[in-house]
Structures are given as C-alpha cells and as structure tokens.
Structure 1
C-alpha cells in the first residue's frame, strides 16, 4: 500500500516569512471592503455630479477619480497617512495628534470633515480588537475621548505602521481605497456595471501609484487642501439634499 502525502502549503512558523505574512494579512484586512468603517456610505459628491449630468459615462467617472486622487487626496490624506506612519514609527503620540489637527484644518468643507472623522473613529474603535501597542492605544483613546479629530488617513497610517505594513504600502492602500470607494458608489448609482468597475480599477493603477508617490514626497509643511473644487462644491450641495442615497 502506497501512502501519498500532499503538502498544500509550506508552514510559516518563524522568522522573516512569518513577519511578512502577518503584515500582508493586516494589509488585506485594512483594504477589505468588508471592514466596518462606513466608507461604503460615501461617494465624494458623485451622486450630485450624476444628478447634474456631469458624470454619466465611464470616461467622465475615470476623470473624476483621477482628479480626486491627484488634486484632492495626494497632498492631504495621502501625505497624512505617510506622516502618521512616520509618527508611529517614532513612537510619537503627540505628533499623531498634531498631524490630525493639521489635516482637520485642510478639510475645508463640513462634508469632507465629517466623512473623514466618522470613518476614522470607526477604525480607531476597532484597534483594540486588531492588536496594538501603547502608542497606538493612547492615540485611539484620544480619538474616543474626542480630544483629537481621528481622521481616517491618520488612523490608518498609524494602524498600518503598528501592523508592520510598510510606509509606501500604507499610502497605496489609502489611495486605492478612495478609488474603490468612488467606484463602489458608481456601481450602485448605475453609472457602470460591477464587472466594468473592476476593469476600471485595474486601469487606474498608474494614477493610484502616481498619487502615492506624490503623497510619499509631501512633508508636513507641503500638505495642501483639496484643489478639486468641483468635487468639494458637489459634496456641499449634496449635503443639503434630503433625498440622497450617500452621505457625501
């Protein structure tokens, strides 16, 4: 009788492979659409732009997403993610709160502030369940007590650093998350089918990477508020509409 043993996977038990696998799993969890932080409720003004017939086609949707990344998020949320990663690595909880306050000033509209704070506070509430060090626990405690705004980019950058995710990967996840959020809203608004949205997300890779590179090279004094004025105005107008599907 012959016994055949099938090895499905090489065990990862110790050393650098275990560290890499742990960080990769954390990255997957942070980028998972099932992460319950409420991002699915936001569309960055897309619903209003659709109502105004300004974004109705795949081409105009793609243009909107690129604008949101390059002119909106890269030097604000993207940079904040990178700098929050740095602050956590330096074990500087005060720097995290200072960065949070700086980003709060750069969120010029109430919809942008509220969305970022709401999603960030929900991620912060998950931190004790995900595992965290003293610096991260102190910071999310400040968020819970409302002593610091708790913007999503700052929380996610600190969480990523604590999980062993690299600085560039943390920012890449944040930039991809913005693109995926808008595309998810576009599917529900029937601008593009779900299958086409996945193709567009793949096509947007160069823009996501470009926004990431801009963010990684942006220092605290170089951070900027969103220059995507059309998106900001659409979000403000959308906030006054009672019959809306999305929060922003």
Structure 2
C-alpha cells in the first residue's frame, strides 16, 4: 500500500469512535471522581501522567514491542506469552475483562476491515497457546500488518489510552470540549518523552506499578451508581 493509504488506515484504527466498546470503560477514573480525588482538569492531568509513567508505557508499550518481535520471528508461543503477561499484570478483574473484550472486538473488526491481512499467527497463539487476545496485543498485531513502525504503533496506542481517559472525564467532570482537547495536546509531549525513556528496554522488562489506580479500579464495581462498565 502507498504511504498515504497506510497513514489513513492507521488513523482509522486510532479513532475513538471505533466500535470496540472503549466508550463503556473509564479504566478506574470513575472511582477517582466518585470520591473526589480527581475533581478538575489539573488533577485529571496528574492522574493521566501517573498512568502513562507507571503502567501504560512500561507495560503496554513494551508489550507491543514484544508483539513486533514475536511476529518477526513467527513465534506464536512468544506472542501468546506477551499477551498473557499483560493480562496477568492487570490486577483488577474489570480491567482484565475490558482489555479482553475490546481486543476480541478489535480482532473481529480487523477481519472485516482488512480481509487481505494474515491472521494465522494470532489465531495459532489463541488456539494452540491460549492467548487472551487483549487490546494491546491486537493493536500491535494489526499495526505490524499495516507496516506501521514500532514507535508510531506504541505512541498511537498510548494516544488512544489518553483520549479514552479524557473522553470519560467529559462525562464525569465539569470540563469542556476545548479544555479537554488542550489537555490531550499537552500530554502528547509526555507520551513521546515517557516512551523515549524505555524504548530500548527488552520486552521482558514489561511491568506496572500503578498500585493506587488498581485499587481504585477494584473499588469501581462496588460504587452505588456507575456510568461505566469499568
């Protein structure tokens, strides 16, 4: 495919309107807003920065790097291993389930959008090695097939995560659309800087230390009223 078409296919994959259920999940943010820990844009920014630093970059980013390596080696077992490690390191049940559901929906959508794409390796990873096909894994797999570079694949995935948090906040906090877009713009440099810090690390180093966010995410299912599934 030519560079223009490749870019447009990639942009479509990053669209927040992609029908994979992301709008139904707050990824722990709703619990933060419920008890007043996050009440305004400044606190929302700190929350998202902490997620990028402690979890999204070091776990999801390195996982995508591992997915790229596994595909290059045509190693379905290794692909499944990285997928399982991301799944296992999501301690809250709701976060594991949401990642699994969104990944399955994205894979199903990709089969319709890209009928020419080779899905044999991910199918083998699922059928033979028990991969969960989480959203991070499937995002990386599709991006590799679209010939998107690793850096762009990782930063694109991080962008969708930031965008999801901000869109959730629009329904949970008294902030406006312009303010929300300005926050996303501000966090783009943070995404780039955080990934640059660890991009040379081995995927085996993937980890997460977002303990507070995990505790809040665990509390979400017991809230008296909820807008989101997670």
Pair in the same fold by TM > 0.5: yes
Q: How does 1:158-173 map to 2 (within 5 A)?
A: 158-173=141-156
Q: Distance in 1 between matches of 2:194 and 2:204?
A: 18
What does residue 40 of structure 2 align with? Answer: 57
Q: Distance in 2 between matches of 1:105 and 1:238?
A: 19
2:211 equivalent to 1:229:
yes
The secondary structure found in structure 1 opposite 2:229 is: coil
Q: How does 1:134-145 map to 2 (within 5 A)?
A: 134=118, 136-140=119-123, 143=126
Higher mean C-alpha displacement, 233-242 vs 167-176: 233-242
What does residue 134 of structure 2 align with? Answer: 151
Aligned-pair Cα RMSD in Å: 2.0
How far did 1:144 drift? 8.1
Unaligned runs of 5+ in 1: 1-17
What does residue 75 of structure 2 align with? Answer: 92
Q: Deviations over 1:165-201 (max 9, x none)?
A: 1111000111111110000000011342111100100
Preserved contact between residue 63 and residue 136 of structure 2 (Cα < 8 Å): yes
Q: Distance in 2 between matches of 1:215 and 1:33?
A: 26
2:164 equivalent to 1:181:
yes
Which structure's CA Rg is the greater one? 1
What does residue 227 of structure 2 align with? Answer: 245
What does residue 127 of structure 1 align with? Answer: 110
Number of residue pairs the alignment of both structures matches? 229
Preserved contact between residue 89 and residue 161 of structure 1 (Cα < 8 Å): no
TM-score of the two chains, using structure 2 as the length reference: 0.91
Unaligned runs of 5+ in 2: none
